[in-house]
A = this chain, B = another copy of it.
Amino acid sequence: MKDFDISKEGNYKVLSSEYLLREGPWMTVRRDCVELPDGRRNPAYYVLEYPDWVNVIAITKDGLFVMEKQYRHGLGISEYELCAGVIEEGEEPLAAAQRELMEETGYGGGEWREMMTLCANPSSQNNLSHCFLAIGVEKMGDQHLDPTEAIEPVLMSVDDVRELLQGGYCKQALMTAPLWRYFAENHLI
């Protein structure tokens, strides 16, 4: 494996920084004045601050994918997506993903591993999204949603999920990426 880790290179110097909005975990906006390594300045580099997120490709003992049907008000569309959520303060990513799957779908158990770590936009936001794979989950309880959530769990076959991906019906990149990786690594395309 070559070393593609260039993460420590090229940092910008922050000359000043102010918060434009501080409305909690869903909308915190910072504006930095930054100096590039060659001395040029960007007076308004906007950064969205969020807690880290999780999502999970959960597959039952029968090989069905535990997906969710949900309205997404940003784009103004409904989609089939993976279970996803926010890591609470002090919580480990794995525990957060297991809690979200149980709350949103009632499914749990199985063998879990972290597949990959992504970011919705490393330019404009400061948080990571941890993508898990859970094999052999089963229905263990009822759904327990937050007061403003409306999520319908849907079990889908691997053929259904392939059609969902190939047809472009799942637009959420943080979920599309691990799903395509799963399909690539398991030679399902």
Contact with B along A164-189 (1 / 0, CB 8 A): 11011101111011001101110111
- A6: nearest chain-B partner, CB-CB: B78
Q: Do the beta carbons of A36 and B150 come within 8 Å of each other?
A: yes
- A164: nearest chain-B partner, CB-CB: B4
Q: Which of B45, B75, B125, B160 contacts A122 (CB 8 A)?
A: B75
Q: Do the beta carbons of A44 and B26 come within 8 Å of each other?
A: yes
Taking A74-B122, A75-B119 as given, write out 19 further A-B residue pairs in contact, using a Cβ cutoff of 8 Å, ordered by the A residue number.
A2-B160, A4-B164, A6-B69, A9-B69, A9-B71, A10-B71, A11-B71, A12-B71, A36-B150, A48-B48, A75-B125, A117-B168, A118-B173, A118-B176, A119-B172, A120-B174, A176-B177, A176-B181, A187-B187
A26 to B21, CA, bound (A): 15
Question: Chain A interface residue count: which class?
Answer: 35 or more
A138: chain B residues within 8 A (beta carbon): none
A150 touching B71 in the complex, CB below 8 Å, given contacts A6-B80, A80-B6, A117-B168: no
A23 touching B2 in the complex, CB below 8 Å, given contacts A121-B74, A128-B171, A177-B177: no
Q: Do the beta carbons of B1 and A167 come within 8 Å of each other?
A: yes
A174 touching B171 in the complex, CB below 8 Å, given contacts A4-B163, A7-B78: no
A118 to B171, CA, bound (A): 4
Q: Do the beta carbons of B150 and A7 come within 8 Å of each other?
A: no
The answer to whether A42 has its CB under 8 Å from any CB of chain B is: yes
A102 to chain B, nearest CB (A): 21
A73: chain B residues within 8 A (beta carbon): 12, 32, 34, 45, 47, 123
User: Considering the complex, which residues of chain A in the window 101-154 have a beta carbon less than 8 Å from any beta carbon of chain B?
Assistant: 116-126, 128-129, 147-148, 150
